[in-house]
Every structure is written in structure tokens, then in C-alpha cells.
Amino acid sequence: MSPGWDRDGDGEVRDMSQAERVAELFFREQRRFIDAFASRDGGGEFRVAPWERAHLGGGRAGILEDGDVFERAGVNVSLVHGTQVPESIVETRPHTRGRPFTATGISLVLHPRNPYAPSVHANFRYFGVGDDEWWFGGGCDLTPMYGFDEDAVHFHRTLKAWCDRHDPSWYPRWKATCDEYFSLPHRNEMRGVGGVFFDHLTGDGATAFDRHLRAVTDGLATILPAYLPILDRRHAMPYGERERTWQLVRRGRYVEFNLACDRGTRFGLQTGANIEAVLMSLPPLARWGFDVRPEPGTPESEVARFLQPRDWARAG
């Protein structure tokens, strides 16, 4: 049995739907992430912006700009619904056409100021169709501007440990999906060192839902231990104009992926839910140069070997 939720604050506790339970988790986790990142930053403050769209739903965007550690940190949660499953879902799941849906998601992205500190992105989402079909999706990936083997190894091992606590078949599959999805085909390179990504985690009945909700809850609890030790190692490393310029070039690639390749961003822009929240993942500043090719042997040229699929969990 699902726990009750005093939705209106009137003391009356009703049973929550699956989507409501997931959204409650996401909103709670959002507060926890915001507190953790604000405390880690020290200087900047989060601006929290609730939003609502008639006949669609709403959400809560949390954003820190121009902080000491983070040049941009964002954590968004949304809960939307509709009478018709959106076209982008119908394309891959035609039987859902014309059915009502509820969707909720949490996404976070961190763009640290220090070029040696990687950007990180995570997203978890739940999609329900009618009363009888539902699935989870999500993932987490790391985008270094400078390559450090130990960072990639730590990140992947932490994610693998999370997956293995729930189903040992997940990590290899989700890692491969992430390598493939978070890539720039036109440059034949990945956005970063990948991570894990899964699209349609489902099962039969309330037991499967409860089990997967536990895995997602555990996944959300894995983001900080996967990322913060890396940030702690890098955020105070000395750097100069050269490293800053390279960081902005690599962020240009991040923008290329998000705007030209990412189906999620395109879907968000097309449905027009909340443009600012959809584009929150973009870095604060990015640069494009013509045919930028780092000199062989430099730390900048070394990054290339981090942008191809590699079994980081076994490496080192």
C-alpha cells in the first residue's frame, strides 16, 4: 500500500498515485541537492522559481549563477499531465496514442568555475500512461574539460555500485546506452566520459514499481558521492587564461550536444513547457573557434581519449 499524502495541507491524508509519490521524492531531493550545492559553493545563493502552465502542470526551478565554486548550478523538478501522450513518446510507443499521461522529472546540471572540475548532469523521470502503464528513465553523466583517469574511474565505479545493488545486468547496458546517447555524431566524440542512461525501466504491478522506485531513490542518493569527491579534488586547482579558454571551447561542444543532438531539449523546446528550465542545462558562457586543434602532447589534446567509449569501471 502506498503511503498517504496530505496534499492540501488540510489534515486529510489520501492515497497518492504513483506519479505523486515519485514527484514527492523529486521535490524532496531537489531541496536536498540545493542545500548541498549552496553549502558547497559558499558564496552564491539559489534562486527558486516555481512555475505553472494552465492545462499542463508546473514545477520548480532552482538556479545558482555566478557562485564561487559553480558558475552555474541548476536543479529542476516538474510534474505535468495531459489528455494525450505527446507525439515524441507515441513515435516509439504507438499504442499509447490518444491516452492521458502524467510525467514527472528531476534534472540537475552543474557547471563549475574551475576548468579542471568537470560538469555533471543527472536526470530521473517517471512517465505514466492511463492507470496501467508506467516507466522510469534517467541517468547521470560526467563532462570533464581536462581528463583525469581517477575521476572517470571513481564516477563510473560509484554508478556501477549503485546499479549492482539492484540488478547486475543494468550497469553494462546502461553504460553502453549512455556512451551512445551522450555523443556528438558530427564530431565522432562523446560529450564527456559518459555514465549511465536508461530509458524504459518498468515491470508488472505495484511490486515492480516499488522496487524500481527504491532503485531510483538510491540513484538520486548516488549522485553526490559520485561527483563531490571529484569536485573537491579539482575546484581549487590553480589555472589561467589558457585553461579558461579551453573550458569555454569544451562548453561549446556541450551546447552543440544539448541544442543540436539532445532529444530531451528538442522535446522541451517544442512543447514549450518552460523554456528557461529546459535551457538551464546550458553553460553560462561558451566559445567557438574555427578548427580548434590542441597541440599534440598538451593536456588539452589528451582530453580526446576521454571522449571515446571506455570501460572506466575496470580501468586503473
87-95, 114-122, 180-188, 197-205 -> range binding its own copies (CB under 8 A): 180-188
Distance of CA 104 to the CA centre of its chain: 14
Q: What whole-number distance in Å separates Cα of residue 212 and Cα of residue 218?
A: 10
Cβ 315 to its own copies shortest distance, Å: 29
Of 280-299, binders to its own copies (CB under 8 A) are 280, 282-291
CA dihedral 249, 251, 253, 256 (to 10 degrees): -130
CB 124 within 8 A of CB 154: no
Q: What is the DSSP string of 102-147?
A: EEEEEEEEEEESSTTSPEEEEEEEEEEETTTEEEEEEEEEEE-SS-
Of 23-42, binders to its own copies (CB under 8 A) are none
Cβ 37 to its own copies shortest distance, Å: 15
Angle, alpha carbons 160-162-167 (nearest 5°)? 85
Cβ 96 to its own copies shortest distance, Å: 24
Of 63-82, binders to its own copies (CB under 8 A) are 63, 65, 74
Cβ 6 to its own copies shortest distance, Å: 31
The smaller minimum CB distance to its own copies, of residues 189 and 210, is found at 189
Is 121 marked active-site? Answer: yes
User: What number of other Cβ atoms are within 10 A of residue 81's Cβ?
Assistant: 14
Is the Cα torsion angle 271, 178, 130, 85 positive or negative in sign? positive
User: With CB under 8 A, what is the number of residues at the site for its own copies?
Assistant: 34
Q: Does the protein bind its own copies through residue 44 (CB under 8 A)?
A: no
99-107, 115-123, 199-207, 252-260 -> range binding its own copies (CB under 8 A): 252-260
28-36, 135-143, 173-181, 276-284 -> range binding its own copies (CB under 8 A): 276-284
Q: What is the DSSP string of 145-191?
A: SS--HHHHHHHHHHHHHHHHHH-TTHHHHHHHHHHHHSEEGGGTEES
Q: Where do we find the cell 574551475?
A: 114
Q: Does the protein bind its own copies through residue 189 (CB under 8 A)?
A: no
The smaller minimum CB distance to its own copies, of residues 136 and 257, is found at 257
Candidates 81, 95, 121, 200; catalytic one? 121
Is the Cα torsion angle 257, 263, 266, 272 positive or negative in sign? negative
The amino acid at residue 288 is W
Among 49, 161, 176, 224, binds its own copies (CB under 8 A): 49
Where along the sequence are the contacts to its own copies (CB under 8 A)? 47, 49, 61, 63, 65, 74, 185-187, 248, 252, 255-256, 259-260, 265-266, 269-270, 272, 275-276, 279-280, 282-291
